[in-house]
Structure 1
Amino acid sequence: MQNEKKYNKWIVALSIVIPLAVAALFGVKLKDYGVDVEPLTFLPSIYASINGLTALVLVLAVSAIRKGNRKVHERLMKFAITLSVVFLLMYIAYHMTSDSTPFGGEGIIRYVYYFILITHIILSIAVIPFVLITYVRAITSNFERHKKIARITFPLWLYVAVTGVVVYLMISPYYV
């Protein structure tokens, strides 16, 4: 537990800074600052695919550890974290160059879409400290505490990854 403490400030800082930076950058449109850049309209399908790949990697990582293959589990989890960072960078780049796409569905599907979207956004923020704490407990070899929090982190992260794909599929007909 002592080894973990030195990471706590980083976990807290990143858990606050990442969502605030995304929110701030989400509102920045490069064209408003005189930057002549083409909208990166090809990115949503790529970052939705990255979300899908992240979900697959998470499931494979859990399968690997259940089979006792710690090294494969470790590599897959590092890959999942890398995918999440790449997703985030693409997401920000898209929103800095393109206007948000309004959902055009009507009736009950509209409520379903917004429920999925809102829970996706809230949990994508909430999962950040869980992922970081889970990772730190693993790298500090505190495997019992790692397992305890991983049981919470895994379904949250999986939900965020899967709903990222669902949100994309639901809104994709409305992209310009």
Structure 2
Amino acid sequence: MTTQTTAHNRQIPPTASPRPYIAAIVAISLVATLFLFWLIYVHPAADAASVELTFLPALNALFNGLSASALLIGYTFIRAKRIPAHRAAMFTAFAFSSLFLVSYIVNHALHGESHYPGHGLIKTIYLGILISHVLLSVIALPLVLTTFFFSLSGRIPMHRKIARWTFPIWLYVSVTGVVVYAMLAAARA
């Protein structure tokens, strides 16, 4: 039986079904999503007055912006068929998104849910962007993990197929994370 060598030098049989891995990715994503909803909507804020680590929302926006930049750079690399540079950019985007997630969890554990103070049309626009951001972020997590799985396991045709969906969703979530922060900060100024 022949095997494929991944970036981490693990041997994966080419005939091995990806289903158990995809099922694990979906389960992990579901648990992470449920945890985040609990954290945001059920867990009481440890610092409801928001006096500690008040820079976290700005840091979250920075990580989202850096992730979006790395995604765009990775896209230009893959269009130029610069595979190692593409892979490095995508790992960088993943690292920034992971740092965002850690910072986001700390921010919500401390400060709880943020409420938009404005009214009227601008609040409707804000809520529309926020809702699409949240819903697509729930979809983005398993897509990103699955896309990485296909790449790292040498299943490049499947990687390409799913990356066509993952890239725009991940980019949208990263960009709208910055937009949501900017709108909230402007309304509070």
TM-score by length of 2: 0.83
Do structure 1's residue 4 and structure 2's residue 18 form an aligned pair? yes
Partner of 1:31: 46
Cα distance in 2 for partners of 1:142, 1:31 equals 44
In the other structure, the counterpart of 2:10 is none
Aligned residues: 172
Give 2:43's aligned amino acid.
Answer: V
Which sits farther off after the overlay, 87-96 or 115-124?
Answer: 87-96
**Alignment of 1:139 onto 2:152:** yes
Would the aligned equivalents of 1:61 and 1:72 in 2 still touch at CA under 8 Å? yes
Give the Cα separation in 1 of the matches to 2:85 and 2:17.
24
Structure 2 regions of 5+ residues with no counterpart? 1-14
Q: Please show how residues 1-176 of structure 1 align to structure 2 within 5 Å.
A: 2=16, 4-26=18-40, 27-29=42-44, 31=46, 39-174=52-187
Query: Which ranges of 4 or more aligned residues in structure 1 deviate by more than 4 Å?
Result: none
Which protein shows a greater Rg? 2
Could you list the per-position Cα deviations for residues 140-171 of structure 1 after superposition, in whole angstroms to 9, with x for gaps in the alignment? 11111111110111000000000000000000
For residue 125 of structure 1, what is the amino acid of its counterpart? V
Q: Do the aligned partners of 1:4 and 1:140 also contact (CA within 8 Å) in 2?
A: no
Question: What is the rounded CA distance, in whole Å, between the counterparts of 2:92 and 2:44 in structure 1?
Answer: 30
Identity of aligned residues (%): 38
Q: Secondary structure at the match of 1:104?
A: coil
My pick for the range that moved more, 118-127 or 76-85, is 76-85
CA distances 1:85-118 after superposition (whole Å, capped 9, x unpaired):
1111111111111143321222211110000000
In the alignment, the residues of structure 2 paired with residue 71 and residue 6 of structure 1 have an alpha-carbon distance, to the nearest angstrom, of 28
Confirm or deny: 8 A CA contact 2:144 2:166 kept in the other structure: yes
Counting helix residues as a fraction of each chain, which structure ranks higher? 1
Cα 1:42–1:175 change in 2 (3 A) is: farther
Q: 2:45, 2:108 within 8 Å by CA — same for their partners in 1?
A: no
**Ranges in structure 1 where 5+ consecutive residues have no aligned partner:** none
Matched AA of 1:168: Y
Q: Following the alignment from structure 1 to structure 2, what is the Cα–Cα distance between the partners of residues 102 and 12?
A: 30
Which one has more relative contact order, counting CA pairs under 8 Å at least 6 apart? 1
For normalisation by structure 1, the TM-score amounts to 0.89
